[in-house]
């Protein structure tokens, strides 16, 4: 087997939330899974403790992975919708770092409803095999961005293998024939900053246990709209 292979995740659930600029009173969601959210799911499966002194080193291993995120449409009449959930929170942390037990603020939390995404991870075979084993038997619970967003199906869609085979398995798990091309779907690529159409997004995890403002580093992505229609072969 090659020293580098591909692995596929299927992120399917009634609710998902992928925040990358999600702080304070308004907790928004991106329209696609973030690197931070997906690696957080994998870190939970591996049992990486965000309070451990070696957390940054363990996360650095995952920095080798390359991401392609794909929106797997569920068919006509099954459009993704967004939900805004209203909360009040008591006992908030001020800018000084101190917790004010008497203060109450309003918060608004956003979710994607009826969404389904595929994620292709490419990187060292040994690391992908370790991730696949952890997803089959996770140490801690996994969720789709937030703890209330539970997966509707097993997250591991295809074990490490050749990209074409893994892509076919992912499609078939999602109810497609397996012959569809990536161009038939909206997808997000990781690209160099000099590539036309590249956008900067701050969602590369450095340390989940670090103070706010120090947890993430930037990466460059390009959002690619679909150029054709991929029909599902079975109802999903």
How far is Cα 118 from Cα 125, in angstroms, rounded to an integer? 19
pLDDT at 16: 95
Break the chain into its structural domains and give their ranges: 4-23+31-80+114-224
Which own/partner contact pairs does 73-81 have at CB distance under 8 Å and 24+ positions apart?
Answer: 73/116, 73/185, 73/230, 74/114, 74/116, 74/232, 74/236, 75/231, 75/232, 75/235, 75/236, 78/114, 79/114, 80/31, 80/112, 80/113, 80/114, 80/115, 81/112, 81/113, 81/114
pTM (predicted TM-score): 0.86
Torsion angle (degrees, nearest 10) of CA 97, 98, 104, 107: 20
pLDDT in tens, 20-45: 665 666 678 888 999 999 999 999 99
pLDDT in tens, 170-208: 999 999 999 999 999 999 999 999 899 899 988 888 777
pLDDT at 159: 96
Whether domain 4-23+31-80+114-224 has CATH 3.30.70.2660: the reply is yes
Positions of the chain with pLDDT under 50: 1, 233, 235-236
pLDDT at 211: 66
pLDDT at 235: 46
pLDDT at 21: 66
Contact of 174 with 9, CB cutoff 8 Å: no
């Amino acid at each position: 087997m090659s020293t580098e292979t591909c692995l596929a995740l299927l992120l399917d659930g009634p609710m998902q939330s992928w925040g990358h600029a999600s702080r304070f009173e308004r907790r928004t969601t991106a329209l696609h899974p973030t690197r931070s959210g997906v690696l957080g799911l994998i870190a939970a499966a591996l049992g990486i403790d965000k309070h451990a002194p070696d957390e940054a080193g363990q996360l650095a291993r995952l920095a080798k992975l390359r991401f392609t995120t794909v929106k797997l449409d569920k068919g006509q009449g099954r459009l993704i919708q967004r939900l805004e959930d209203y909360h009040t929170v008591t006992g908030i942390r001020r800018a000084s770092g101190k917790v004010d037990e008497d203060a109450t603020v309003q918060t608004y939390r956003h979710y994607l409803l009826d969404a389904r995404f595929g994620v292709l991870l490419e990187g060292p075979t040994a690391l992908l095999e370790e991730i696949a084993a952890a997803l089959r038997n996770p140490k801690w619970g996994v969720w789709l961005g937030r703890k209330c967003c539970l997966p509707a199906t097993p997250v591991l869609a295809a074990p490490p293998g050749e990209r074409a085979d893994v892509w076919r398995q992912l499609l078939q798990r999602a109810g497609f024939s397996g012959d569809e091309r990536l161009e038939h779907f909206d997808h997000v690529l990781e690209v160099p900053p000099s590539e036309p159409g590249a956008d900067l997004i701050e969602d590369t995890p450095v340390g989940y246990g670090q103070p706010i403002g120090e947890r993430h580093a930037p990466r460059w992505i390009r959002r690619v709209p679909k150029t054709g229609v991929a029909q599902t072969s079975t109802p999903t």
